[in-house]
Structure 1
Amino acid sequence: MIKFAIKVVLLAAVFYGLTRYDVLPGLDIVPNPEGPLGEFGTYLWIGLIFGVVNAIVGPVLRLLSLPFVVITLGLFLLIINAALLGLTAALTERLTIDGFGTAVLGGLILAVAGWIFDQVLDR
C-alpha cells in the first residue's frame, strides 16, 4: 500500500513535469488552485486515477490483447498504455489529450517512468 502511494506521488510529479515544461504540447492539465491541496492536489488526483486504472484495467487489457502483443513483439503495449491514459482523461475533466499520437507518447513516457519507479521501489 505504501509502495502504491509513493508511486502515485511520483506519477503526479511526472504529470507535473510533462505539462509544466510542455514536453507533450497536446497533454494539458487544468490545475485547481482552490482544491484541498491546491494545484498539486490536481496532479495527485490525476496520478491516483492513472495508478488505479493501470492497476485494475491494465492487466485485463494486457491479458485480452496477448495475441496482438505477441504478434507485434510487444509494440501493441504502446496502444494499451495510450488507452489507459485516454481512460484516465475520460474519468477526469482536468486532463485533456489532443490526439492519438499524444496519447501514445504520453503512455510511453508514463510506462517508462512507472518501470523505473518499480525498479527503484523494489530494492
Structure 2
Amino acid sequence: MGLIIRLLITAFSLWLATVLIDGIELTTDAVSEQIITLLIVAVIFGVINAILRPIIKVVGCGFYVFTLGLIALVVNGALFLLTSYIAGRLDLPFHVDDFWPSAVLGALLVGVVSWLLNMLVPDGDD
C-alpha cells in the first residue's frame, strides 16, 4: 500500500512541475490520459532513480564531495531528462524541453514536493 501511495505522490509532484515550470509539458487534454501518463512517468522516474542513482553516487562520489553535493542537482536534472526521453520513446505526452533550467528545476521541485508529502505518510517502522 505504501508503494502505491508513494507512486501517487510522485505523480502529483510531476503534475505540479508541469503546471509551475515552463518547459515541462503534459500535452494532452483528457484528464484520464493525463492521470495515466503521470502514473506511468512516475513509475519510469522511480525505476530510473532506483537503478541509476546508486551507481552514479558510487562512481561519482568524489564529485559529490568536491562540489559539496551540488553535483546532485546536475545528476537529478539528467535523470529527469532521461525520464522525459524514455517517456517520449513510449509515445507518452510528457516532455521536458531542455536541461537548464527545466530539467534541473523540475527534478528539484519533484524531489522537494515528494519529500514533503512522503513525510506525511507513515512507513512500516512507525
Q: Shared fold (TM-score greater than 0.5)?
A: yes
Q: Distance in 2 between matches of 1:106 and 1:39?
A: 17
Q: Which residue of structure 1 aligns with residue 106 of structure 2? A: 106
Q: Which residue of structure 1 aligns with residue 119 of structure 2? A: 119
Whether 1:28 aligns to 2:25 is: yes
Number of equivalences = 118
Q: Distance in 2 between matches of 1:75 and 1:28?
A: 26
- Residue correspondence of structure 1 range 1-123 to structure 2 within 5 A: 2-19=1-18, 21=19, 23-31=20-28, 33=30, 37-93=32-88, 94-101=93-100, 102-121=102-121, 122=123, 123=126
Supply the AA of the counterpart residue of 2:15.
Y
Q: CA RMSD in A?
A: 2.0
Structure 1: which 5+ runs fail to align? Answer: none
Supply the AA of the counterpart residue of 2:97.
D
Work out which structure has the larger RCO, using CA pairs closer than 8 Å and 6 or more positions apart in sequence.
2
Residue 116 of structure 1 deviates from its aligned partner by: 2.5
Residue 60 of structure 1 deviates from its aligned partner by: 1.1
Deviations 1:28-66 (A, max 9, x none): 1223749xx532111111111111111111111122111
% identity of equivalent residues: 31
Structure 2: which 5+ runs fail to align? Answer: none
Change (3 A) 1:67 1:43: same
Structure 1 moving runs of 4+ over 6 Å: none
TM-score (norm 2): 0.81
TM-score (norm 1): 0.83
Q: Distance in 1 between matches of 2:104 and 2:68?
A: 17
